[in-house]
Amino acid sequence: MYVLKQLRRKKGISQSDLGREIGVSLRTVQLYEKKGANIPIKNLTKIADYFDLSIAELYLHELNDSGGSYANKQPFTKHGNVFYPLDYGKYLVMGSLILMEQQHWYIDQIGTKNSEGNSFQMGFIIDFLEDGAYRAFEVSGDSMNDGSINAIPNKAIVLGVEIPKETLSKKEDTIANMPCMLICRDRILCKWITKVDSENETIGCQNLNKSPEYQDFELPFSEILQLFKVVKKQT
């Protein structure tokens, strides 16, 4: 993020100083200061805390320094998400981030007010809005890591938009041939959906990783509490 250089200079600290504060090397800080840098959420949180900013404010500073004109456009809230309109029809969406360690907590909170928010937030830039709640999830395991462009490796962060369960009973395969986050009664899964069988009320779940320990399977509708179509990923 180019804004890190500006914030660091304003605070009068060196790259080495910042590295010591957030627990990374000088080389890592140099990489983080490049435009479009992929910063892990743990270190992004440390950076935001150090500069007394939220992660959302970090993203907004970055966009502003890049010449975006979001400042003249009003943010709005929908389905518990905050959206910041950008140029070219894009949006910065801020949503709750569910870490691996929080999966069982999140499942227990579904249907309560607590499930609408979370102390961890993540920002993604999306090309267009879909009508549904956006949530970010940290992926557990390498069942979706085949090394291809579609791979979703262990600890990747994905942004999903919620698909109402009622749509599963319709004839159209609205989520076939795409990755989804499946919130089940006892776990959260990231799988490639091969088909939606409305007659037998099952979803075909495929692992991109073809190692023997990862077996494809069918999941009954009744096991699914929530369903999110993956629209963006950060690895």
pLDDT at 214: 95
Q: Which residue has the higher pLDDT, 59 or 106?
A: 106
Percent of the chain exceeding pLDDT 90 equals 52
Do 152 and 216 lie in one domain? The reply is yes
Do 91 and 177 lie in one domain? The reply is yes
In the predicted structure, residue 115 carries a pLDDT above the cut 60: no
Compute the average pLDDT of residues 177-191: 96
Do 43 and 95 lie in one domain? The reply is no
Do 122 and 223 lie in one domain? The reply is yes
Do 15 and 103 lie in one domain? The reply is no
| Element housing 95 (H / E) | strand 91-98
Q: Which residues contact 133 (CB under 8 A, 6 or more apart)?
A: 79, 80, 81, 95, 161, 162
The CATH number assigned to the domain holding 34 equals 1.10.260.40
Compute the average pLDDT of residues 161-173: 82
Do 141 and 213 lie in one domain? The reply is yes
Structure-token pair, residue 109: 């909170």
Contact 195, 204 (CB under 8 A): yes
Is the whole-model pTM more than 0.85? no
Contact 197, 203 (CB under 8 A): yes
pLDDT tens digit sequence for 80-101? 898 888 777 888 898 899 999 9
Do 34 and 79 lie in one domain? The reply is no
Could you say which of 64, 82, 108 is where a domain stops?
64
Do 140 and 107 lie in one domain? The reply is yes
**Cα 44 off chain centre by:** 14
pLDDT tens digit sequence for 205-234? 999 999 999 999 999 999 999 999 999 998
In the predicted structure, residue 70 carries a pLDDT above the cut 50: no
3 state DSSP class of 125: strand
Buried (b) or exposed (e) across 201-231, using 16+ Cβ within 10 A?
Answer: ebbbbbbbbeeeebeeeebebeebebbbbbb
Burial of 85 (0-12, 13-18, 19+ CB in 10 A): middle
Q: Which residue has the higher pLDDT, 140 or 68?
A: 140
- Which structural domain range is residue 191 located in? 68-234
C-alpha 87/C-alpha 28 separation (Å) is: 30
> What does the mean pLDDT of the chain come to?
87
Do 25 and 103 lie in one domain? The reply is no
Do 42 and 135 lie in one domain? The reply is no
Do 41 and 144 lie in one domain? The reply is no
pLDDT at 69: 45
Could you say which of 12, 31, 64 is where a domain stops?
64
Could you say which of 64, 83, 115 is where a domain stops?
64
Number of domains into which the chain is organized: 2
The CATH number assigned to the domain holding 157 equals 2.10.109.10
